[in-house]
Amino acid sequence: MHYEGTVNIRKFQPQDRNLLIDLWKKIFPDDPPHNEPSRVIDLKLAVDDLIFVAEEGGKIVGACIAGYDGHRGWLYAVGVSQTYRRTGIGTRLVTTAIESLKTLGCIKVNLQIRATNTEVAAFYESLEFTTEDRLSMGAFVT
């Protein structure tokens, strides 16, 4: 199903800040403190402007952060408001981010999701992402 409303996919603008923070707090209520939305936005904008939002009638209803390190691209914090899920907005956000990454020379896009999030895994599989045999590791460097 595709949403027939007037949702506009575009780059983040400073006036979107509070609406995006509110959206991410609703979409990702159990995110750890290091993913606090205002911090994530500030740190991302210090590097580049690859934050995309889905906006309708002055409301932010979805968002996606993309990244590119010159070797591969990444998708982070992709989410759509519960009311707008399964309408094609998530697909539009992801494809917009990927097209933007391609213009930078990116040829491969990665993402990470929680292993238990099978519904989201199915969404990405529908967009031709595949599970790779990798071990994801991380370290806090504070």
The reported pTM is 0.91
pLDDT at position 6, please?
Answer: 87
The CATH code that applies to domain 8-126 is 3.40.630.30
Residues 6+ apart with CB under 8 A from 140: 34
Angle between helices 17-27 and 37-47 (to 10 degrees): 120
Average pLDDT for residues 20-26, to the nearest whole number?
95
Scanning 78-117, the segments in alpha helix (DSSP H) are: 89-103
Average pLDDT, the chain: 93
Identify the three-state secondary structure at position 67: strand
Is residue 3 very low, low, confident or very high in pLDDT (cuts 50, 70, 90)? Answer: low
Q: Which helix (H) or strand (E) holds 59?
A: strand 59-68
pLDDT digits (tens, 9 = 90+) for 53-105: 999 999 999 999 999 999 999 999 999 999 999 999 999 999 999 999 999 99
